[in-house]
A and B are shown apart, each in its own frame.
Chain A
């Protein structure tokens, strides 16, 4: 899983670098696009993801202590916050599209929708992996903690990737 996480983070770093370059190369376009973004919504995304990541980390710690029911509950709560992120992203995205912004509007919106859409796909996959982890806590196998830890690792990668996007896209919004 570490190899996957490393590859994904390098990919998000390249996307972040491209957005940062756009920010410097076309400041007027970038800042005009940012004017449509709400820092409060950006903080809302962060709250949902970071809370979910914390709950998932607590779930791994509980599973290591063989507290399976608690671990399962924490993972289900982490999934709920992850789904909250997906819901907010879809609602926010629909609002931006309704306001006339889309992939082809200009370079900012192409970058915004590509980067956040790519991240959203990873969050959706991460939610599925957390669900697999929650199911795994019922099995009682000896390697459950290791398996769930690996799955949760992917979820934390989504956190780190979001920090990059938050800094590049929302700073100055």
Chain B
């Protein structure tokens, strides 16, 4: 799982830079943050409320960035 997350994170970062679209890059940043949270920070094994809180926090942040960035 951790190795898969590593490959996924690098692939998403490469895709984000290759495409060069701001809103897609912000969305992919959210996906990467959730992957790090669930897999590396081990939130998938934590209390469900913590994991949901993290995902919602990331979603809120990315929504704000997407709106502010235009």
On A, residues with C-beta under 8 Å from B are: 6, 9, 13, 16-17, 20-21, 23-24, 39, 42-43, 46-47, 50-51, 53-54, 56-58, 60-61, 149, 153, 156, 159-160, 163-164, 166-168, 170-173
Cα–Cα, bound, A81→B9 (Å): 16
Closest to A27 in B: B70
Cα–Cα, bound, A160→B38 (Å): 12
Extra A-B contacts (9), CB below 8 Å, given A24-B70, A39-B17, A166-B17:
A13-B64, A17-B68, A21-B69, A24-B68, A24-B69, A42-B17, A50-B9, A166-B16, A166-B29
Contacts of B70 in A (CB 8 A): 20, 23-24
Closest to A6 in B: B57
**Smallest beta-carbon distance B16→chain A, Å:** 7
Q: Are A20 and B65 closer than 8 Å at their CB atoms?
A: yes
Cα–Cα, bound, A86→B54 (Å): 28
Contacts of A20 in B (CB 8 A): 26, 65, 68-70
**Smallest beta-carbon distance A20→chain B, Å:** 3
- Cβ < 8 Å to A, chain B residues 1-21: 2-3, 5-6, 9-10, 13-14, 16-18, 20-21
Contacts of B65 in A (CB 8 A): 13, 16-17, 20, 164, 167-168
Instruction: Find the residue from A50, A51, A156 having the highest chain B CB count within 10 A.
Output: A50
Cα–Cα, bound, A149→B32 (Å): 20
B36 close to chain A: CB less than 8 A? yes
Instruction: Find the residue from A20, A57, A167 having the highest chain B CB count within 10 A.
Output: A167
| 16 residue pairs A–B, Cβ–Cβ below 8 Å | A6-B57, A16-B61, A16-B65, A17-B68, A23-B69, A46-B9, A54-B40, A56-B40, A156-B37, A159-B36, A163-B32, A164-B65, A166-B25, A167-B25, A171-B20, A171-B25
**Smallest beta-carbon distance A165→chain B, Å:** 9
Q: Are A160 and B20 closer than 8 Å at their CB atoms?
A: no
Q: A20-B69, A23-B22, A167-B25 are in contact. Are A51 and B6 (CB under 8 A)?
A: yes
